[in-house]
Every structure is written in structure tokens, then in C-alpha cells.
């Protein structure tokens, strides 16, 4: 696996959308993201796909805490999102909790909140653990 310790995150979707991981433990992963023109759909509210991006970012990043990074990778296998309310400004916070940590899959529950702590989206993400072939 390539060394990503000096990876330029600004050139990724995380950098483009301003996603910042602010808590990173096996118990939970928390990320924040500002709402901006980059995250809005034409009607002025956060695009539903952006909710999916931050949710999968939390799940994927958190899954690396459970694997052997020299021999395995964590990749998104399935994700769904239920959009509860719209948000058009401020900052959203995604909180991911692993609900199943298995040998080949990790399942995450991710809840996204607006800055007033109202629920915006509930997502479930299944991460596949794959072996790296040498």
C-alpha cells in the first residue's frame, strides 16, 4: 500500500468539499463540512449526494482503524441515505459508529446533523475488506 502520510488531501473530494475529520477512534469517527456553493444543488440546499460523500468518507476512514493496512484495503461496498431535512448554510457534522466489525465487512451507521444539531440524514454504509495482492 502506498504511504499516504504526506498525501495532499486538498486534491481529493475531501479537500474540494472541505471535509475535515475531527475525531478518529474505533468507537466513532466525526467529520465536519461547511455548506458552500460546491455542496448545493440548484434549489439552494445541500445536494443529497454530498450527504453520501461525507457518510462514506467517515465509514471508509474509520474502517482503516480495524484492518492490517499492509495487507488489506477498505472499500465501499454499499451505501444508502435517508434525507430527513434540508440544510442550506452553516456546517454539517457526520458521526459514524461501527455496528458490525467482521473479517470481510464493516457496517457503519452514520448520522449527519446541521449546526443546530438537528438530524439531516441517516446513512448505512457497508465497507468490504479486501486483501491486497502482491
Which residues are known catalytic residues? Answer: 56
Question: Given the DSSP bridges, would you call strands 72-83 and 91-101 parallel, antiparallel or unpaired?
Answer: unpaired
Distance CA 16, CA 35 (A): 12
Angle at 94 between CA 60 and CA 52, to 5 degrees: 60
Distance CA 27, CA 88 (A): 30
Distance CA 132, CA 101 (A): 19
SS3 21: strand
Tell the residue number behind the cell numbers 500500500, with chain if given: 1
Distance of alpha carbon 82 from the chain centroid: 15
Amino acid at each position: 500500500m502506498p504511504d499516504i502520510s504526506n498525501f495532499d488531501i486538498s486534491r481529493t473530494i475531501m479537500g474540494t468539499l472541505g471535509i475535515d475529520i475531527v475525531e478518529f477512534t474505533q468507537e466513532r469517527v466525526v467529520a465536519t463540512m461547511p455548506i458552500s456553493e460546491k455542496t448545493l444543488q440548484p434549489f439552494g440546499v445541500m445536494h443529497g449526494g454530498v450527504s453520501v460523500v461525507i457518510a462514506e468518507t467517515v465509514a471508509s476512514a474509520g474502517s482503516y482503524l480495524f484492518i492490517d493496512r499492509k495487507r488489506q484495503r477498505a472499500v465501499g461496498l454499499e451505501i444508502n441515505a435517508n434525507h430527513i431535512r434540508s440544510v442550506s448554510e452553516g456546517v454539517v457534522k457526520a458521526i459514524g459508529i461501527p455496528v458490525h466489525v467482521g473479517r470481510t465487512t464493516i457496517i457503519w451507521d452514520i448520522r449527519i446533523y446541521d449546526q443546530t444539531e438537528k438530524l439531516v440524514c441517516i446513512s448505512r454504509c457497508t465497507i468490504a475488506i479486501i486483501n491486497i495482492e502482491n
